Amino acid sequence: MATMARANSGPAYPERFYAAASYAGFDGSPNSNTKDIASRFSNDVALILYALYQQATVGPCTVPKPSSWSPVEHSKWKSWQQLGNMVSIEAMRLFVKILEEEEPGWYSRASNSVSEPVIDVQMNHNSNVEPIIENRNSFAETKIISAENGGLMETQDKDVVSEGLGSIVVYDKWISPPVIGQRPKARYQHGAAVVQDKMYIYGGNHNGRYLNDLHVLDLRSWTWSKVEAKVVPKSVESPSLVNIAPCAGHSLIPWENKLLSIAGHTKVPSETIQGKAFDLQTGTWSVLNTYGKAPVSRAGQSVTLVGTTLVIFGGQDAKRTLFNDLHILNLETMTWNEIDAVGAPPSPRADHAAAIHAERYLLVFGGGSHATCFNDLHVFDLQAMEWSRPTQQGEIPTPRAGHASVTVGENWFIVGGGDNKSGALETVVLNMSTLAWSVVASVEGLVPLASEGLSLIVGSFNGEDMLISFGGYNGHYNNEPSHKSTLQSKMMEARVPDSVSAIHNVTNPTRDLESEFEVGHEGKIQEIVMDNIDTGHQKFKGEETTERIIATLKVEKEELESSLNKEKLQSLQLKQELAEAKAQNSDLHKELQTIRSQLAAEQSRCFKLEVDVAEQRQKLQTMETLQKELELLQRQKAASEQAALNAKQRQGSGGVWGWLAGSPPQNADNI
């Protein structure tokens, strides 16, 4: 069924910009009709239009600074130079926006026609145009269905609801951004991470073959490029290169200036979980050296960064054994620890989703076993080390496995997955404070978003958070990124118009909502909603001067640089303190070893002294025995001597009596 839809925003870029430039008086030459431009616009507006035109058509200002005697040329050069490295498409959009603020009806006058072009949009038979309900002041745009990778992709309705003098625009669309560059090979079960407005894609599975390539998507220019990574030798003594094996089902975690790839299946499985790190500054891979008892090798696990630790739950090994264990890897000491939890844990599972709330509660949702998919929610308290299963609010999502998730504040967004029968079509969000579920978007048909093994990250475009998904498998492998705004509603200060066509054209100083219909070579039609201005910081008004605009940007830049410098200084101080603590710990360890050595020497000396004392005691006991024997001998000798003396005395006494009797002694002759 074919349905007519109005394209009220005029031609697409860059044609729209050139039409606006021509209308404003810029004919493409360096010396456009300056007098005509100056007569139609104020000096400030003319200068910023000139600068944006030059930025869009020529690029950043590289011409020499003109002489100060020519104030007009000097002002034009200064306005252009202050735009810095603003990309061409952004300069085009700002040019058109400022022109629309100055002359809202410029396009109608430029085209000399009040009728709007009509585009035939081929729509699915189930699609229709929502009716206009005047009494509720509610208007709905037509759903746009476009072919995407051989399937159908649906972008959701964008409702504009009247509230007094203002209106709320609900952003609930998934779109395919116009990426350029060489796209990665289609895949699923890969790893994805964001570092400084760049999305990195590593590894994955394609047709059963594991990959180890690394690609990066610049989210500011939507440009793909492949990272030619190097590897680090194992050691200085062993200069052979580290083997970075292709893998799938791993987790990619940004940490400091590195990307950490944790776990995953490889062609030759290991016994324990392996990790590797990619240094974003040097562009090199290296293997993570960990300590302690590492978990069993697995894939399909969840890896959640909590402070300076990684919390690993569940997964499945190469023999299809499912796990429901918890392990922690301390990234500062690179030490593994297994958690001895209490409470009823989730059943063993893989391909689930996990998130951290308030740096304390680990939430686990869904996943699958060999035959069953789950939609249960479990919470693990990292302080109490206890599992619980809380009561959920709202409409609980259908069972699924292979889904992807990401947190934005207290909101936990979950996309994709399937239940062995069909892919999950709804994008759901859980408020982690209230545990209330809600559906924020839905798709139809065989689209990449209804895939298993896709990835989901949070990026930023013009200051607005965007959900960006990549890859997945739903019967075929995907490599088409999609993104969606995470902001549910934004206020607009314009009065609500009286017709649908007027709603399409609504513009105001705080937000420019533009719909572009891009028709591809195969007749595809995509609706792209871009948010051109950061409402919290930049408001381009006709009466504002170029200097004030640039000054505001410079102030914000200086504040950000100051904050960044403070964070870097604090990080440096913490690193220095850590290094000092490590050095002090090393000194204390050395001192402890010295004391232990001295103590061991003293213990050995004491043992020898105890042996000597025992020997001396034994000798003393021997001497005492000898002393007693000596005393006994002395007593015996004394007794013998006394007996001999007595005998002698007796003999002497017998001689005297004999002499008295007339018998002289025998020795009388010797006298």
Start-to-end Cα distance in the chain: 176
Span 97-124, pLDDT tens digits: 888 778 877 777 776 533 333 333 232 3
Mean pLDDT in residue range 149-172 = 33
Most confident of 86-95, 176-185, 315-324, 642-651: 315-324
| Confidence at 666, pLDDT banded by 50, 70, 90 | low
Are residues 301 and 446 part of one domain?
Answer: yes
Would you say residue 269 lies in a domain? yes
Q: What is the DSSP letter of 496?
A: P
Percent of the chain whose predicted confidence (pLDDT) is above 70: 72
Are residues 353 and 206 part of one domain?
Answer: yes
Are residues 288 and 189 part of one domain?
Answer: yes
Are residues 301 and 210 part of one domain?
Answer: yes
Q: Per-residue DSSP letters for 291-338? A: BS-PPBP-BS-EEEEETTEEEEEEEE-TT--EEEEEEEEETTTTEEEE
Span 326-344, pLDDT tens digits: 999 999 999 999 999 999 9
Mean pLDDT in residue range 515-522 = 32
Task: Render the burial of 441-467: b for 16+ CB within 10 Å, e for the rest.
Answer: bbbbbbbbbbbbbbbbbebebeebebb
* Nearest in space to 97 (alpha carbons), one of 551, 483, 496, 544: 544
Token readout for 360 is 């304390």
Are residues 278 and 397 part of one domain?
Answer: yes
**The domain containing residue 464 runs over which residues?**
180-233+242-485
Span 463-514, pLDDT tens digits: 778 899 999 999 889 888 887 765 443 323 222 222 222 222 222 322 333 3
Q: What is the DSSP letter of 366?
A: -
| Predicted confidence (pLDDT) at residue 542 exceeds the cutoff of 60 | no
For position 59, which CATH number holds?
A: 1.20.80.10
Task: Render the burial of 253-269: b for 16+ CB within 10 Å, e for the rest.
Answer: bbeeebbbbbbbbbeee
Output 321 or 532, whichever has higher pLDDT.
Answer: 321
Other C-beta atoms closer than 10 Å to the C-beta of 604 total 10
Are residues 596 and 461 part of one domain?
Answer: no
Mark which of 459, 485, 511 sits at the end of a domain.
Answer: 485
Would you say residue 496 lies in a domain? no
| Confidence at 658, pLDDT banded by 50, 70, 90 | low
Average pLDDT, the chain: 77
Other C-beta atoms closer than 10 Å to the C-beta of 306 total 14
* pLDDT recorded at residue 117: 35
* Nearest in space to 509 (alpha carbons), one of 467, 550, 465, 542: 542
* pLDDT recorded at residue 33: 54
Span 283-339, pLDDT tens digits: 999 999 999 999 999 999 999 999 999 999 999 999 999 999 999 999 999 999 999
| Confidence at 18, pLDDT banded by 50, 70, 90 | confident
Output 555 or 425, whichever has higher pLDDT.
Answer: 425
Are residues 184 and 290 part of one domain?
Answer: yes
Span 357-396, pLDDT tens digits: 999 999 999 999 998 999 999 999 999 999 999 999 999 9
User: What's the number of domains the chain is made of?
Assistant: 3
Are residues 198 and 75 part of one domain?
Answer: no
Q: Whole-model pTM?
A: 0.52
Would you say residue 6 lies in a domain? no
* pLDDT recorded at residue 560: 82
Would you say residue 267 lies in a domain? yes
Are residues 428 and 329 part of one domain?
Answer: yes
* pLDDT recorded at residue 608: 87
Token readout for 156 is 């959701």
For position 461, which CATH number holds?
A: 2.120.10.80
Are residues 222 and 86 part of one domain?
Answer: no
Mean pLDDT in residue range 529-552 = 46
Are residues 592 and 465 part of one domain?
Answer: no
CB 246 within 8 A of CB 202: no
Token readout for 138 is 């509610």
Would you say residue 163 lies in a domain? no
Would you say residue 653 lies in a domain? no
* pLDDT recorded at residue 488: 42
Are residues 462 and 591 part of one domain?
Answer: no
